[in-house]
Amino acid sequence: MLDFFRNHKRLMMFMLILVIVPGLGFVGIQGFRGFFDESANVASVNGHKITRAEYDNAMRQQLDRARQMLGAQFDIKAFDTPERRSQMLDGLIEQRVLADETQRLHLTASDDAVRRVLLNDPVISSLKNPDGSIDVDRYKQLLAMQGMTPDQYDERVRYSIATQQLPAAIQGSAFTSKTLAQHLTELAEQQREVQGIAFHPRDYAAKVQPTDAQLQAYYDAHRNDFATPATATIQYLVMSPATVAASVQPADAELKKYYDDNIAHYRTEGQVRASHILIAAPKDASAADKAKAKQKADELLAQIKAHPDQFAQIAQQNSQDPGSAAKGGDLGYFGRGMIAGGKAFDDAVFALKKDEVSGIVQTDFGYHIVKVTDVKPAATKPFDEVKDQIARDLKTQLASKAFSDDSEGFTSIVYEKAKSLQPAADKYKLQLQTATVTPQPDPKLPPDSPLNNAKFLAAVFANDSVNARNNTQAIDVGGNTLIAARVTDYKAAAVPALDAIKDTVRQKVIAAQSNEAAHKDGIAKLAELEKSKATTGFSSPLKVSRNDAQGMPPAALSAIYKADAQKLPAYVGVDLGDDGYAIYRVNAVVTGGAVDPQRLAAAQQQIAQVQSQSEAEAYVEALRARSKVKLYGSLESSGNAQASDQ
C-alpha cells in the first residue's frame, strides 16, 4: 500500500483535493475540523481535555522507566496491556481533578518553596559554579533543549508543589493506634510449627516411558512452543546528537568566540576567608535590647584592638553565632551574597585587607565584628586551559542543533528513497550498520538500544518492509534518537518437524507426566492423612512465620496460615506447579513474647503510611465522583471514538 502511494503521488494528491475541498465548502472549515476534534483526546475533566498526545507521552515515559529498571528482563507485553493503559488514564484524570480542586481553593506555592525545590534538584545542583552560584547560561540552555524558559519551568514547579498540598495534608494527619500496630505485629511474628512431605516430579521421571503416540499428541498440542521466531537481517541508520557529532568539528575561531561570549563562566569571583563575632540583636528587638547589644559589641571591639592576636579566643567566649563560635568565629571562604548578613556585611568585609578588623557592622541579626584572615582575588581561566572543555560543550550544542535541523530531512529522504538507506547515510554522514533481529527485544542488547524498541521492531516486520523491502519510516525511539531500517533478508517463523526435536519433546512429556503423577500421589496421601492423623513420613519440625518463611514457597506459607489454629494438628496440601506437590502437618501455634518497642514504633509508622495513602486515594476518588469526567473510546486507536460520560 505504501509503495502504491509512493509511485502515484500526483494521483493521490488529486484524489485528496476532490474529497477534502467539497467537504470544506459544504460544512465550513470549523465544521470539518469538528468531525475530528475528539479523536485527538482520550478524556475530559470538567471541560479540560486530556489529549491523546499527552496520554501517549505519559505511557511512553512509564515504559521507558520500566525498561531502565528491568533491563534484559523487560517485556513490553507485560506492561503495555489494556489494564495498564486504563490505569495510566485514571492517573491523568486524577491529576486533572486534583489540579481543578487546587485552583478552586486558590492554593499556590511561595517563591521560597519553588527555590528550595529547584536547588534540591540534582540536575540543577550540577550546574553550580565554584562559588556556589548557579550557572544561569547553562541552566537556560538545559531548559531550552526541553522547549522551556526559566519562568515556564518555575511555574511548572509551582504548579506541582501546589497540587501536592492537599494529598500531603491528608497523609500528614494519618494516625494509627499503638494497640492496632501491636496486634498486627504479633500476627506477623506468630510462628507455626510444621512438618512436610514432598512429592517431587524428579522422583517419578525414571518410571515414565512415553509412547510415540503420546509424543505426537504433545507435539501437536504445543506446536507453537517449539517454533523458531521470524528473523530479519537489516541495514539500519541511527540519527541522534551523538551520531551527528562525529561530523561536527567547531573551528578554533568558534571556540574563541564561545569563550569570549561566555567569559563569566570561566571567571572565579574574588573570595575572602573571615571570622566574626556576633552579638545578637534581631531587627524586632526592643530599643533597650539593641542598645545593650551595641554596648557589648563596643566593649569587645576595644578588647580586640588591644589584643588583635586573641580574636579567635574572644569569639569562642563571646560570639552568639552557634555555627561559628566554637571555631573561633571562622566562616570559611565565601564570595559576595553567600553570607546571610546582606549588603552591609558584604560591603564591610570586602573593603578589608588581610588581617584587618572591621568596626561594628549592623545587620538584621545584630552587631558583628569581622576579621579577614585570607583573600583570594578574582581570576579568569585562560583560553588554552579550557579550550578542550569548550570544544566538547560546543560540539554537543552544535550536534543537538544539527539533529534538530536535519531530523525532518532525514525522515523525508528515508521515505522518498524507499529502496535504499545509502542516500540518507551519504547526505547526513551516518554509518550504515547491519543486524539480525526478531519480533521480540533481544535481552543481550542494552535495554535502551534502539534495536529493542517495540515500535521499531513492529515496523521492521510489517508487510511493507518484509515483502516490498521498502525502508521503514524514521522511528522516534525517544532520547532525541531516530532509527530507520531496510530488510535485506527474512526468514519466517517455523516449527521444526517432530523427528528433528523428538528428544526435546520426550523430555517435555516426561516432565509433564512426572508432575502429574506427583500431584496424583500427593492428593491421595493427603486424603489418607486426614483420616488417619498419622505422624510418620514427615520431615523434622520447623518453625515458620510470616516474617521468616525459612525458605518455604509463598503458596505453602499461605496454606499453612489458613489452617484453623483451633483444630490442630491440621493437614494442608499445596500445589507447587512444576515443583510437584507438598503436604504440611501444622502441629502448633507458637506465640512470641513482648514486641520490641522499636519494632512496634516502626510498624506503627508503616501502618500509618498505608492508611494515609488509602485516605488520600479516597479523597481524590471523591473529587473525581463530583467532577464531570468524559472518556473518548479506545486507548488503542487514534481514530474517531465514541464519547461516554462517567
Residue 313: what residue type?
A: Q
Q: Which 8-state DSSP code applies to residue 191?
A: E
> Cβ-count burial of 495 within 10 angstroms (0-12 exposed, 13-18 middle, 19+ buried)?
middle
Of the candidates 157, 78, 93, the one whose C-alpha atom is nearest the C-alpha of residue 124 is: 157
Of the candidates 506, 570, 574, 530, the one whose C-alpha atom is nearest the C-alpha of residue 226 is: 506
In this prediction, residue 424 carries a pLDDT of 95
Cβ(365)–Cβ(340) under 8 Å?
yes
Q: What is the rounded distance in angstroms from the CA atom of residue 170 to the CA atom of residue 109? A: 17
Q: What is the rounded distance in angstroms from the CA atom of residue 303 to the CA atom of residue 466? A: 91
Three-state secondary structure call for residue 235: strand
Of the candidates 551, 475, 563, 495, the one whose C-alpha atom is nearest the C-alpha of residue 526 is: 563
In this prediction, residue 463 carries a pLDDT of 94
In this prediction, residue 20 carries a pLDDT of 39
pLDDT-flagged residues of the chain (< 50):
1-37, 637-643
Residue 209: what residue type?
A: Q
In this prediction, residue 9 carries a pLDDT of 44
Q: What CATH architecture applies to the domain 270-377?
A: Roll (3.10)
Residues ≥6 apart with Cβ < 8 Å to 391: 250, 255
Q: What is the rounded distance in angstroms from the CA atom of residue 456 to the CA atom of residue 132? A: 44
Residue 360: what residue type?
A: I
Return phi, psi of residue 67, to 5°: -65, -40
Q: What is the rounded distance in angstroms from the CA atom of residue 154 to the CA atom of residue 161? A: 11
**How many of the other CB atoms lie within 10 Å of CB of 576?**
19
Fold match, 36-176+597-646 / 270-377: no
Q: Would you kindly state where each structural domain of the chain is located, as residue ranges? A: 1-34, 36-176+597-646, 191-222+502-590, 232-246+409-490, 270-377
Cβ(234)–Cβ(437) under 8 Å?
yes
In this prediction, residue 523 carries a pLDDT of 96
In this prediction, residue 114 carries a pLDDT of 81
Q: Which residue has the cell 538545559?
A: 142
Helix, strand and coil in the chain, % to nearest 5: 55, 15, 30
Lateral strand order in the sheet of 570-575? 542-545, 191-199, 581-590, 570-575
Cell of 349: 568585609
Cβ(356)–Cβ(335) under 8 Å?
no
Q: What is the rounded distance in angstroms from the CA atom of residue 510 to the CA atom of residue 517? A: 10
Cβ(294)–Cβ(367) under 8 Å?
yes
Q: What CATH architecture applies to the domain 36-176+597-646?
A: Orthogonal Bundle (1.10)
Q: What is the rounded distance in angstroms from the CA atom of residue 574 to the CA atom of residue 535? A: 18
The model scores a pTM over 0.85: no
Residues ≥6 apart with Cβ < 8 Å to 61: none
